Structure 1
Amino acid sequence: MHMVIKSIERFERVFVYLSAIFMGLLSVMVFYEVIARYVFDSPTIWANELSTYLLQFIVFFSMGYLVIKDEHLKVTFFLDKVKGRASKALKIFNHLLIIPYASILLIYGLNVTKTTFERDATSPTLLAVPLWIPNSFIFLGGALLILGCICAILKIIFEQPAEETEEGGKIYD
């Protein structure tokens, strides 16, 4: 089981690294757009649209890995009070609650992607990006989130939780 968990983590990590690269690219694009628009009074026709697509990729493709590493946003006031088996059960239950949401992303994202592909829909800009590409980020992100939840549940069941350092950080393999 350890091999399955590690394989899923490696697979999801690829998308996080790609998201990090895109985040750097996004920063450069926005910086360039600001300079072009406000310094040279010559805005681009592509920066706003592409930065939106990059941001979509970053958000949807990093969710699963954040769940695996237990670094996603969460409210823990109740979870912090529960210890032992009850804590494990509650963590598993929390991950199981994410799966229906991720399934909606998967199913409806797939439907939207399929529809935009069949209609050959493109963005209403000069770039005319085929909309099935950014729309596919939704269902792929949903699939990665489901995979991340499954991996997180397996980690809770079969592995020891991450060790806490004295500074409050977590140590991962």
Structure 2
Amino acid sequence: MRRLLNFLYDSAAALAALFMVGLLGMVLLSIASRQLHFHVPGTDAYAGYLMAAAGFLALAHTLKRGEHIRVTLLLNFLKGGAKKAFEIWALAIATLLALLFAVYSSKLAWQSHEFHDISTGSDATPLWIPQIAMAVGTVILAIAFVDELVLEMMGQRVDAPTGEALRNE
């Protein structure tokens, strides 16, 4: 099961990276079209869709790597059972919020499909298409939070080392 979950998180991150490359392509196309005096309609909208897709699909992978911003001020004062209880409480709340986010983003994509909702830009893209990436990303994030909660309750959760998040500064 662990290998399957890690594959899911890594696959979503790889897809996010692919969307980032697509975003780069859209930005370069937009720049080139301005310099060469031709217009490609919808490049701004598609760049936005690709950026949103990359961000949402990378959420679970980022969580599992300990790269999400955490406020540990209170947590650093707690020890033993109190610290574990607080971690479980925080993860339970985060799991609930992630599940709600997944349900409502999936519902949004479904409703956009059902109502044939299209973007207001010149591209007239059916909105359910870019919203699928948001729905998939939030579902995978919810799975990752459930995974973290179960690992914490079983005492198998590994925290990022102190100062690990600062390594890129």
Amino acid corresponding to residue 149 of structure 2 in structure 1: I
What residue is the counterpart of 1:15 in the other structure?
Answer: 12
Q: Which residue pairs with 1:85 in the alignment?
A: 81
Which runs of 5 or more residues in structure 1 are unaligned? none
- Alignment map for 1:28-43 (pairs within 5 Å): 28-37=25-34, 39-43=35-39
Gapped regions of structure 2 (runs ≥ 5): none
Instruction: Quickly say closer, same or farther: Cα 1:161–1:30, change in 2 above 3 A.
Output: same
Aligned-residue RMSD, C-alpha: 2.4
Check 1:153–1:57 CA distance in 2 against 1; reply closer, same or farther (3 A cut).
same
Query: Match for residue 69 of structure 1?
Result: 65
Question: Identity of counterpart residues, as a percentage?
Answer: 22
Q: CA deviation at 1:160?
A: 5.3
> What residue in structure 2 maps to residue 169 of structure 1?
164
The reply to whether residue 138 of structure 1 matches residue 141 of structure 2 is: no
Distance (whole Å) between structure 2 residues aligned to residue 5 and residue 85 of structure 1: 26
Shift of the 82–126 alpha-carbon distance from structure 1 to 2, 3 Å rule, reads same
* 1:93-143 residue CA offsets vs partner (Å, 9 max, x unmatched): 222111232233222223322221112222234433221112223332221
Q: Is it true that 1:154 corresponds to 2:150 in the alignment?
A: yes
Change (3 A) 1:41 1:92: farther
Where in structure 2 are the equivalents of 1:105-124 lying within 5 Å? 105-124=101-120
CA distance in 2, matches of 1:153, 1:99: 8
Closer, same or farther: CA 164–127 of 1 in aligned 2, 3 Å: same
- Structure-1 residue corresponding to 2:96: 100
Distance in 2 of aligned mates of 1:83 and 1:34? 54
Mark the CA change 1:141 to 1:87 in structure 2 (over 3 Å): closer, same or farther.
same
Give the superposition deviation at 1:163.
6.4
SS in 1 for 2:125: coil
Cα distance change, pair 85–9 in 1 and its aligned pair in 2 (3 A): farther
1:162 is displaced (CA, Å) by 4.6
Q: Tell me the secondary structure at the aligned position of residue 58 of structure 2.
A: helix
Q: Give the aligned residue type for 2:93.
A: L
